[in-house]
Amino acid sequence: MNEPVNIRELNDLIASKSNFSNMIRNGMDRRIVGQKHLVDSLLIALLCNGHVLLEGVPGLAKTLAIKTLAQLVAAKYSRIQFTPDLLPADVIGTLIYSVKNESFEVKKGPIFANFVLADEINRAPAKVQSALLEAMQERQVTIGDTTFPLDSPFLVMATQNPIEQEGTYPLPEAQTDRFLLKVVIGYPDKEEEKRIIRQNIYGTPEPVTPAVDPKEILEVQKIVEKIYIDEKIENYIVDIVFATREPSKYGLADLQSIISYGASPRASISLAKAARAYAFLRGRGYVIPEDVRAVCHDVMRHRIGLTYEAEANNISADEVINNVIDKIAVP
């Protein structure tokens, strides 16, 4: 059983750290117009020590977002452009023979950074994807006989383009499952688009100065781990996940022919973690059902397998999640 939690103390602790998320949000707003959901998703991933998979057409500030975040945190940032001829050694590093020392020396790859942008991850072959995803899961990399731990905090933001599917290698389901969130980014509205034009035509972009120390992120992550989740909320999370596995038991028999496989236990863990982070961003020391519902789509959309029937009828994972959320009783 969980040890008793003093919610008031926890709320005070969270209030004392509220400046953390405000500073990051303000810094992001200087460079990025709109995209509040993207910024919130990056913050949730940062607080949970998880990774984000972004899907959106080119030009929606995916690369700019993670670069700005890395500058705000004064952390090491690296970008890997995935191409069909990329090799695992190009990502994690390799052994290079030194003539001077007459021995092999380790040359570390771009994965050794706090923030890694894996641009167009679905353009590289499976062996490169699996090298990156192993590093994400284990948070360590083996080069030759030596294993190197990766820096902390460590956040991978992978992007994929939904338009051009020629020459791409779609991520296998087992690998997309390792991403805490899959965020689908939409276009800005008219007012935001006008601001983007003005910002890029007339003004020079404001320089981004470091606002947060990486050590502070590790402190905040420890606070997020203390946020209280009641047993009723745990049951709510489990019901949502189980409804994708056995829909007929939850009065969702029409989803039986649409879902080929349901969400894994990793979905339950990720839902609980992301809901905690969302509660922190709202200044609360406890999770409420609205927190779970707010993060549900991003956590679940890449963890539900759809049948050919669903694809033929243009039914998306988001529609399935909507049906599940509407049906499951809120505690």
**Are 92 and 202 within one domain?**
yes
* pLDDT band, very low/low/confident/very high, at 45 (cuts 50, 70, 90): very high
Q: How many other C-beta atoms lie within 10 A of the C-beta of residue 1?
A: 4
Q: What is the pLDDT of residue 322?
A: 92
Q: What is the pLDDT of residue 329?
A: 86
277's enclosing H/E stretch is helix 265-281
Query: Which tens digit of pLDDT belongs to each residue from 255-288?
Result: 888 999 889 899 999 999 999 999 999 888 889 9
- The interaxial angle of helices 7-16 and 214-226, nearest 10 deg, is 160
Q: What is the pLDDT of residue 164?
A: 64
Residue 142, phi then psi, degrees to nearest 5: -105, 120
* pLDDT band, very low/low/confident/very high, at 21 (cuts 50, 70, 90): confident
* pLDDT band, very low/low/confident/very high, at 87 (cuts 50, 70, 90): very high
Q: And the tokens for 125?
A: 């072959």
Give the max Cα distance, the chain.
71
Strand partners, 149: 140
Query: Which tens digit of pLDDT belongs to each residue from 293-312?
Result: 999 999 999 999 888 988 88
CATH number at residue 115: 3.40.50.300
Q: Is residue 2 part of a domain?
A: no
**Are 114 and 21 within one domain?**
yes
More confident of the two residues 59 and 164: 59
Instruction: Measure the CA dihedral 326/328/330/331, to 10°.
Output: 180
Residue 161, phi then psi, degrees to nearest 5: -100, 120
**Are 247 and 138 within one domain?**
no
Q: Is residue 262 part of a domain?
A: yes
User: Quick check: 1 pLDDT over 50?
Assistant: no
Domain boundary among 150, 180, 215: 215
Q: Is residue 221 part of a domain?
A: no
Output the average pLDDT for the chain: 87
C-beta separation of 71 from 208 below 8 A: yes
Give pTM, 2 decimals.
0.88
More confident of the two residues 172 and 257: 257
Q: What is the residue range of 165's domain?
A: 7-215
**Are 283 and 180 within one domain?**
no
Q: Is residue 15 part of a domain?
A: yes
Query: Which tens digit of pLDDT belongs to each residue from 123-142?
Result: 888 888 888 877 888 899 98
Q: Is residue 202 part of a domain?
A: yes
Q: Estimate to the nearest angstrom the gap between the alpha carbon of 213 and the chain centroid.
A: 20
* pLDDT band, very low/low/confident/very high, at 252 (cuts 50, 70, 90): confident
Surface-to-core class of residue 120, CB atoms within 10 Å of its CB (0-12 exposed, 13-18 middle, 19+ buried): middle
**Are 199 and 276 within one domain?**
no
Q: Is residue 1 part of a domain?
A: no
User: Residue 141: which of 106, 103, 104 has the closest Cα?
Assistant: 106
CATH number at residue 322: 1.10.8.80
156's enclosing H/E stretch is strand 155-160
Q: What is the pLDDT of residue 210?
A: 81
Number of independent structural domains in the chain: 2
| Distance (Å, whole) CA 285 – CA 226 | 8
Alpha carbons within 13 angstroms on the beta-carbon side of residue 111 total 29
Q: What is the pLDDT of residue 163?
A: 62
The contacts of residue 289 (CB under 8 Å, 6+ apart) are 233, 236, 330, 331
**Are 234 and 110 within one domain?**
no
Domain boundary among 187, 215, 243: 215
**Are 69 and 103 within one domain?**
yes
Q: What is the pLDDT of residue 241?
A: 93
Q: How many other C-beta atoms lie within 10 A of the C-beta of residue 62?
A: 25
User: Quick check: 91 pLDDT over 60?
Assistant: yes
**Are 277 and 208 within one domain?**
no
The sign of the CA dihedral 134, 140, 143, 145 is negative
Q: And the tokens for 137?
A: 């899961």
**Are 145 and 231 within one domain?**
no
DSSP character string of 33-101: -S-HHHHHHHHHHHHHT--EEEE--TTSSHHHHHHHHHHHTT--EEEEE--TT--HHHHHEEEEEETTT
Surface-to-core class of residue 177, CB atoms within 10 Å of its CB (0-12 exposed, 13-18 middle, 19+ buried): middle
Average pLDDT over residues 168-178: 80
* pLDDT band, very low/low/confident/very high, at 2 (cuts 50, 70, 90): low
More confident of the two residues 60 and 51: 51
Q: Is residue 64 part of a domain?
A: yes
**Are 87 and 22 within one domain?**
yes
**Are 94 and 243 within one domain?**
no
**Are 157 and 295 within one domain?**
no
Domain boundary among 215, 236, 259: 215
Instruction: Please give the radius of gyration of the chain, using alpha carbons only, rounded to the nearest integer.
Output: 21
| Distance (Å, whole) CA 139 – CA 161 | 26
